Amino acid sequence: MEASTNIQAMLSDGFIFVPNYQRAYSWDQEKQVAVFLSDIEQYVQSKSKSKYYFGHFLFEKVGEKKYGVVDGQQRLTTIVIFLSALYKQLKGIRDLTEEEEFEYSSMIRLASRYRFSTVDYDNQLFKEYVIDRTKKDKIGLKTESEKRIVAAYDFFSSKLSQKSEEELLALYSAVKSASCSTYMVENESDAIQMFIFQNNRGKKPTNLEIVKAQFMFNVHLYGGEETDNLLSDIKYRFENIYRSISRIERKIDEDDILVYTQRVFFNNLNEGNALAKVDEELAKESRIEFIKGFTQGLSSSFNYLEQFFTEDYDKNYNIHSAISLRSHYDILMPYVIKAYSFGLDRETIGTLCNSLETLFLRQLVIRRSAIMSYRLNGVFQRFTGNIEETVDLINWMKNPNDWWFQYWDDAQFDEALNGWIEERTAKFLLWKYENYLLDGGKGGYDFIRFDSIPEKHLEHIAPQTKTNDEPVSAGYCEYDEEFRNSFLNCMGNYLLLSAPHNESIGNKPFELKRSTYTQLLQQREIQDMTPDIIWDKDKIALRQKNIKEFIKSIY
């Protein structure tokens, strides 16, 4: 490839692929993909005489006319998706010219050979949905990267379908002739050095990507006779890691998993700066053994958490609940990784999650500044699969005789439940209460999923802003100082509604609001409590008592 070239020449020069140990497609349709198209449209409209510039691409040459893209793969993948969608639209208007057919074969597909391929686990979808158009449905998409590929193609197809032939040709010309620069390296070590160099020049890869590059670079320097085998192992494990990321990335951050792995690997809940710790270990003579062990630990962590956030999240109420609370992942996830590593079954892991959740919830309600990881670190370090010591300590912490642990005791929890509770925590507790009502207090496993309630809103039954009518005539009590301070913002006056439902009733009179309370059981509970069509301090106090007793019974 020429150092200074254009998109058509770059794509035509050989066959480009994304190595499996690289990140899969990660551009979001509403953000980067939309900006990609908007920028090109603005360039065309500007009628600029200079060529559009697509930036710099870094490749590793791995064979005759075969190149692995090291840097720039997100842009390059998007360019190929865009050109494929544009060709489809153009073919729908008329037959391609001989020149356009030639350019298609040189940039997109030459007979049975594809000019560009993404990571293996997404590539079949890429070929069938983007290039060949043999798959036109969205059934069976397993990874987030597959979903992004489909979303990008559909976005481009939708936007391009609204354009004339002249507009399509202008966009096509702008993209294929856009200038770019390339840098080719002959071996992997040089490619990794370039990645690290570009990172130091202001690029922002994830910490996980930096660690991968550092590991591979150190193996090249110090691996000796093991170099090839070690590199093969790292690539294989990162292929598994990125496959897991593509399935759970919307649920947990990859750099956080890096830290959780660090805490498990060094058996310390108070480990924090992953990059600094990795640098420290790579400076030691034992660096190669560290790379072997830590890479294996990373791969295992991602595999365990993929199962935790998918299959086990769906099948175990306690796991579903702990994930939905989204609190203290810095403690929960290292425990979960350890639990899987010692072979604990789903039910036992669920019991452990439930025990930890009781402490996390108390912290959210009481809102103390004490650092929980310090208090749990000892039992975490001794944890080798038996959850009893951790469960016993948490139960003791609810009624301790040691000031070091008294931040989350029963007395403070009871008092805090009478006051204001942060909105997301209140929504979570009302979801738990709904499942309690649904289950009749039996503790079964049929439950409403937390994510099944659309756009959860926290409704104030007695509205924060008074109705246009007098409160009493509207079915509420007077908004006196006591009501505002003790009744308006408490669990007894909160109700879980979908966003459209909440927005439709606003601060209307109670009778009108009450008539719409027909969805969840807690809504019907309000109807049962108010045959007199009045919602006042007494009703709020009664409901507050019922919810509080429920919360205390499970936490």
Supply the pLDDT for residue 442: 58
Q: Which of 22-36, 93-107, 145-159 has the lowest mean pLDDT?
A: 22-36
* pLDDT for residue 443 is more than 70: no
How far from the centroid of its chain's Cα atoms is residue 132's Cα?
30
- The model's pTM: 0.81
* pLDDT for residue 108 is more than 70: yes
Supply the pLDDT for residue 3: 74
Q: What is the DSSP string of 101-126?
A: HHHHHHHTEETTEESEE--HHHHHHI
Residue 132: both structure tokens together: 């060949």
Q: What is the pLDDT of residues 136-158, one digit of tens each?
A: 999 988 888 999 999 999 999 99
Provide mean pLDDT across the span 289-317: 96
Please report where in the chains the tokens 């990507």 appear, as a residue.
209
What does the radius of gyration of the chain's CA atoms come to, in whole angstroms? 29
Give the residue from 382, 275, 273, 257 showing the smallest Cα distance to 332: 257
Percentage helix, strand, coil, to 5, in the chain? Answer: 60, 10, 30
* pLDDT for residue 122 is more than 50: yes
**Band (201; pLDDT cuts 50, 70, 90):** very low
Supply the pLDDT for residue 202: 44
Quote the mean pLDDT of the chain.
91
Taking the C-alpha atoms of residue 48 and residue 534, their distance in angstroms, rounded to an integer, is 69
Provide mean pLDDT across the span 252-272: 96
**Band (62; pLDDT cuts 50, 70, 90):** confident
Q: Pick the residue with more confidence: 318 or 56?
A: 318
Supply the pLDDT for residue 199: 52
Q: Pick the residue with more confidence: 446 or 203?
A: 446
Half-sphere exposure of 58 (CA within 13 A, CB side): 16
* pLDDT for residue 159 is more than 80: yes
Taking the C-alpha atoms of residue 412 and residue 408, their distance in angstroms, rounded to an integer, is 7
Half-sphere exposure of 86 (CA within 13 A, CB side): 24
Provide mean pLDDT across the span 8-36: 90
- Angle of helix 388-397 versus helix 372-382 axis, rounded to 10: 160
* pLDDT for residue 445 is more than 60: no
Q: What is the DSSP string of 33-95?
A: IHHHHHHHHHHHHHT-SSPPEEEEEEEEEEETTEEEEEE-HHHHHHHHHHHHHHHHHHHHHSP
Q: What is the DSSP string of 509-522?
A: -HHHHHHT--SSHH
Q: Pick the residue with more confidence: 223 or 193?
A: 223
CB-based burial, 460-490: b 16+ in 10 Å, e otherwise: ebbbeeebeeebeebbbbebeeebeebbbeb
Q: What is the pLDDT of residues 417-435, one digit of tens each?
A: 998 999 999 999 999 999 9
Provide mean pLDDT across the span 464-488: 85
**Band (186; pLDDT cuts 50, 70, 90):** confident
* pLDDT for residue 320 is more than 60: yes
* pLDDT for residue 384 is more than 80: yes
Taking the C-alpha atoms of residue 425 and residue 361, their distance in angstroms, rounded to an integer, is 8
**Band (447; pLDDT cuts 50, 70, 90):** confident
Q: What is the pLDDT of residues 496-552, one digit of tens each?
A: 988 888 888 878 899 999 999 998 899 999 999 999 999 999 999 999 999 999 999
Give the residue from 104, 71, 344, 85 showing the smallest Cα distance to 209: 71
* pLDDT for residue 8 is more than 90: yes
Supply the pLDDT for residue 495: 93
Supply the pLDDT for residue 351: 98
3-state secondary structure of 445: coil
3-state secondary structure of 15: strand
Residue 6 pairs with which residues in a beta bridge?
179
